[in-house]
Amino acid sequence: MMRRHRDGSGALRHLLGWSTLVAFLLALLAIVAALAFSVHVKGHSMEPTVQEGDRLLVQFWKRGDIQRFDLVQARVGVAKSPVVKRVVGLPGDEVSVAFAEGKPVVTVTPGGSDTAYVVENGAWDDRIGDRIAPCCKSDGTAGTAPDAVVVPEGSYWLLGDNWGGSDDSRTYGFVKQADIGGVLDLRLQPLGSFGGVPNPARLVPVDEN
């Protein structure tokens, strides 16, 4: 009886050992996968929401369900350079940008609606820079007057939270859905800031602004 008891204890320890090893390997695999499907933020165009050096998880499975104000990874320009920006204009939206006292007044009329909204983004408050041209020309880039333009089907209009120091749709124009790699709403590094990425933006009806 004692021998069978010892044999049972040995089998249990063996099983626990294998379970621990499997758990460790799965955790390691999850870390490797997270790093493989992540983006390392370069530059200051999304400050103060995310900082240069932050690593964000690229949720590629959300490419087909992009929502207004999502943070996304996109490839822009002739070189298809990777950038991190915020979605402001959805397909069918009418967008324009004017400036009042050096700060942007971004107006959005959602597709299928007659109601105009102003975008409020707390991250813009102290982001003074030289990207203050009004918008938009027919391709979504900055122009010489605050003209409204409609975002084409299958495309998006993007802005950086550091609006005064961001090259975004005002520079590159509309961004096609095929050039968006995924949604970025989870910060992986630095570890002290691990967790959801804040979204400081919202739409406010023009008559309430």
What domains, with CATH codes, occur in the chain?
A: 37-208 (2.10.109.10)
- 43-72 per-position pLDDT tens digit: 999 999 999 999 999 998 998 899 999 999
CA 57 to chain CA centroid, nearest Å: 10
What is the spatial order of strands in the sheet that 94-100 belongs to?
Answer: 149-150, 94-100, 103-109, 117-121, 201-205
pLDDT value, residue 29:
47
- 109 DSSP β-pair partners: 94
Model pTM score: 0.82
Mean pLDDT calculated for residue range 104-122? 94
pLDDT band at 1 (very low <50, low <70, confident <90, very high): very low
In three state form, how does the secondary structure of 36-54 look? HCEEECCCCCCCCCCCCCC
The end-to-end CA distance of the chain, in Å, is 82
State the chain's mean pLDDT as an integer.
85
